[in-house]
Structure 1
Amino acid sequence: MKKLLLATALAALGTAGLAQEVVRIGTEGAYEPYNYIDQASGELVGFEVDLGKELCARAELTCEFVQNEWDSIIPNLQSGNYDIIMAGMSITEERQQVIDFTENYTPPSQSAYMALAADANIGDGAIIAAQVSTMQAGYIAEQEGVTMLEYATPDETVAAVRNGEADAVFADKDYLAPIAADSNGELVMLDADVALGGGIGGGMRKSDAELRAKFDAAILSMKEDGTLNALIVQWFGEEADLF
């Protein structure tokens, strides 16, 4: 019955008009495993690339990905350079003041610290690296006695720890954990996770309610039939939080 209702909802929305246009998906292309450039092919790949393709297929939309730097990703959405952001963007109250979000396509996840040693200072007097305009940067900015260094890309935040500029980096745990695991012990995850945000969703202009409804219906259909959980496990492993 649920599948029938979802199918009816998709049909009722009517995709005839939008199907004739290309829906552009803005992504950073620098946030593995969410979205990144495959070094062998030079193509955009990742969880959100696979997800975006499946959502567009279910909504009967013709879509293409557009790469955009993180620090201007919302302004360029508002300017019309693309129609939806799929870039590991967590749903927060602050962002909802300027854009709308689709249904979340990952559950609320943990943010975490990564450092060169397990006893690294993340409290009073600490210097913490974070990517600019992220909810993690907002969180660190509110911590008394902590100095934050903001960087344009996630790679730069990790480099700041490696070269001693920062005591630790604070970011999505799903992003940091694989880096620590592949560092041969150089980098370690700290036991100080913080739950932030309402999960990750697609950011959209507030005026695009019809398009948002199509993505919402497609996301809900993937939640209902289990394919979204399967995709999360494929990209984040068996220990990932699921719907």
Structure 2
Amino acid sequence: MTEMTVPWQKTLASWWESYVRRFWGRDEETDYHVRLKVAHTARVRNIARQLMHPRELPAQELALVDVAALLHDVGRFPQYWQYRTFRDLLSVDHADLGAKTLDEEGVWQWLPPEAAVVLRQAVVWHNKRALPPEAAGAAWLPAQVVRDADKLDIFDMLTTDKEYRMPPTDGISQAGGVSEEIADMVAAGRLGLPAQVKTAADQQAFRISWVYDLNTVEAVRYVDRAGFLPLMLAALPEGEAKVRIGQAVEACVKRRLATEA
């Protein structure tokens, strides 16, 4: 899918590379964070390709998924430049900023109108708590896949021992356990809320709950094959909350693998 099979796919990729170059060279800390998001974007595109490979979709649909993955985090670059953080609660919603950036850069002029609408929606929706009711039709697949691929790369970042391992988050205490509030939500099969996250353990439980929001069965299979859940659960403090959360998310994965085989 990363092959440039549609003309505007190559145009958008060239623009993205040019845009990102604007954010290099201010200082070492900024360069480090730019590198993080450049590498993350490349991995998300690759994961999206893997998820869609079994479907044998037309070139136009594959191009929409690929470019959605390419553009999904474009707001991260101006976000860090202005606020020096990637934490939306301390700055601005990076997906909304991404869509605003793409509007201001005039990138939609290079695409068919219907493709521009689909891609803008995929960028705006990629980090929201859930896809909105209007996420249907042509917008459905790119929005679903970019959300899934984004989460899968974050799962990898949380569990890998490679250089791209997830760094600590700004404003999150490394001490303390999982709060009862977030443990109850995740154990009940619901997504955690960002506002509930006060400690690194809360944040881990919150991210584990993203398993409930995987849209495609290919993404669920990816989680199972990669062994993400045992590794992410191992990072939670020992106790009742860990047991309850583990039972709920593992049951969710098993159920989906059984019903969507």
| TM-score (norm: length of structure 1) | 0.33
Task: Choose between structure 1 and 2: higher strand proportion.
Answer: 1
| TM-score (norm: length of structure 2) | 0.31
